Amino acid sequence: LLLFGLSGCWFKPAAIGNSAPFSGAGGHVVHVISHGWHTGLVVPAKEIQARIPALQDQFGDVGSLEFGWGDKGFYQAEEITTGLTVRAVLWPTESVMHVVAVPQSPREYFPDSEVITFCLTDSALSSLMQFIASSFKRNDTGDVVSMKSGVYGNSQFYQGEGDYYLMNTCNKWTAKGLRSAGMNISPTFKLTADSVMGYLKKEMSSLLLVDGVVACR
């Protein structure tokens, strides 16, 4: 019965279908950030704020926003306990979205984190924006639901869509975002930060670099 009860939220938020494979071309710069155990997506703020006006109200005209999805209790906890960790991993729990204003280069803003950068076409970015927007739970009027302030910088928590679980982690969420953008990544077992970043390193190795940086155009 538990498995049947989980089925509705097991895969939420779902990746967005994208018929155009990722090519590395395009004029939109996107970053994946690894903070050690957790990954997030840094995207142009203007595009996602057009889909979620509340983010414009909250963060204003910032250049980029970082998005992360995760367990409500674990993500917002001031102190991480064994009980929180076990509950987050072994039992389906409510999720949250963590949104952070990134006013400068992600490599400068997150100097202690690993950053991988790539480029997206208009259609690929649109699919990624659709995926991110679908990761927010909405109220009866269709608005995102704000919660408490985030854990670093100018940041905010919002209610998330779907349940966090051993097989539906923050890193799998990032992988589903990459899949939505057209990358040939299977999110199923991308449960750790290393598995996501390892895939990206292989994917980026075939792209054109200028002074070691992906050139978007």
* pLDDT at position 207: 67
For the chain, residues with pLDDT lower than 50 are: 1-8, 77-81, 83-85, 88, 210-212
Q: How many CB atoms lie within 10 A of CB 160?
A: 27
pTM value is 0.89
* CA distance linking residue 62 with residue 46, whole number of Å: 8
Dump pLDDT digits (tens) for 99-144. 999 999 999 999 999 999 999 999 999 999 999 999 999 999 999 9
* pLDDT at position 217: 64
Helices (H) and strands (E) in the chain, counts: 9, 9
Q: Are strands 114-120 and 155-164 parallel, antiparallel or unpaired?
A: unpaired
Domain borders along the chain are 23-204
* CA distance linking residue 45 with residue 64, whole number of Å: 4
What are the two backbone dihedrals, phi and then psi, of residue 144, each rounded to the nearest 5 degrees? -70, 155
* Region at 66 (left for phi over 0; alpha for psi -120 to 50; beta for the rest): beta
